[in-house]
């Protein structure tokens, strides 16, 4: 904590291996509190969250996608953002923005996190989204873009050193 906003953005990395330390419910609630402020299409704030702590459920969640979902099985907590997509054309964008808030909020609280993509990904039998709905009892009219795996990082993050790609500024009309 006590990092500047720039430090949080720069230090955030995808964390895929975690210690056995548990994240307090209070910390998860703080992360979700921040995520609930994410901007949303039509200002509808449609995002809802499912929290999974049960180890067996985490393993089953990881199995819902064929490849690249391993970190979920080893995480302390998973957050699955869901959106009632009826009459909501931009639900994917809404879920993506809220998920990004989760990643940054996690970094603020010293928690490691990784976006695990689910939408349009193959599961072991059905599509990953459908398997998650079966596993968690989520009605079909909800959209699931991803899950986020969370835990305390097993090793320190190495920040990226990135620079924006800028294609020049247009002149200000007053100049
Ligand atoms: C849209 C999206 C989908 C991603 N899907 C996965 C995934 O399924 N599994 C995974 O381990 N990481 C996934 N990631 C994490 C990326 O691999 C990671 O952000 C990228 O390699 C850059 O590394 P960094 O997050 O440490 O900066 C995803 C990230 C985004 C933004």
Reported as a single tens digit per residue, the pLDDT across 122-138 is 998 899 999 999 999 99
3-state SS, the chain, equals CCCCHHHHHHHCCECCCECCCCCCHHHHHHHHHHHCCCCCHHHCCCEEEEEECCHHHHHHHHHCCCCCCHHHHHCCEEEEEEEECCCCCCHHHHHHHHHHHHHHHHHHCCCEEEEEECCCCECCCCEHHHHHHHHHCCCCCEECCEEEEEECECCCCCCCCCCCCCCCCCCCCCC
Pocket test for ligand 1, best of 9, 102, 115, 161 (most atoms within 8 A of CB): 115
Spatial distance between the Cα atoms of 147 and 161, rounded to a whole number of angstroms: 26
Ligand 1 pocket member 148 (CB < 6 A) = no
Spatial distance between the Cα atoms of 129 and 141, rounded to a whole number of angstroms: 11
Question: What pLDDT is stored for residue 125 in this prediction?
Answer: 84
Span between the terminal Cα atoms of the chain, in Å: 42
- pLDDT by residue (tens digit) across 142-154? 999 999 999 999 9
Right CATH number for 5-151 from 3.40.109.10, 3.10.20.740, 3.40.30.10, 3.40.50.10860?
3.40.109.10
For the chain, the domains span: 5-151
Which residues of the chain, if any, have pLDDT below 50?
A: none
- What is the CA(15)–ligand 1 centre distance, in A? 9
* The model's pTM: 0.96
Question: Which residue has the CA at smallest separation from atom 22 of ligand 1?
Answer: 14
Ligand 1 atom with least separation from CA of 65: 8
């Amino acid at each position: 904590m006590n990092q500047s906003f720039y430090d949080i953005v720069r230090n955030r990395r995808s964390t895929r291996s975690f210690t056995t330390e548990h994240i307090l419910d209070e910390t998860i609630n703080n992360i979700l509190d921040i995520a609930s402020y994410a901007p949303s299409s039509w200002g509808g704030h449609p995002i809802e969250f499912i929290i999974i702590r049960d180890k067996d459920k985490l393993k089953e969640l990881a199995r819902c996608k064929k490849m690249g979902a391993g970190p979920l099985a080893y995480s302390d907590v998973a957050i699955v953002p869901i959106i009632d997509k009826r009459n909501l054309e931009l639900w994917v964008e809404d879920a993506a923005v809220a998920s990004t808030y989760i990643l940054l909020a996690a970094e603020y609280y010293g928690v490691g996190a990784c976006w695990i993509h689910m939408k349009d990904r193959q599961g072991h039998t059905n599509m990953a989204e459908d398997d998650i709905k079966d596993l968690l009892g989520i009605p079909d009219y909800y959209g699931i873009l991803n899950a986020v795996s969370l835990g305390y990082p097993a090793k320190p993050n190495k920040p990226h050193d990135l620079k924006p790609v800028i294609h020049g500024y247009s002149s200000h009309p007053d100049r």
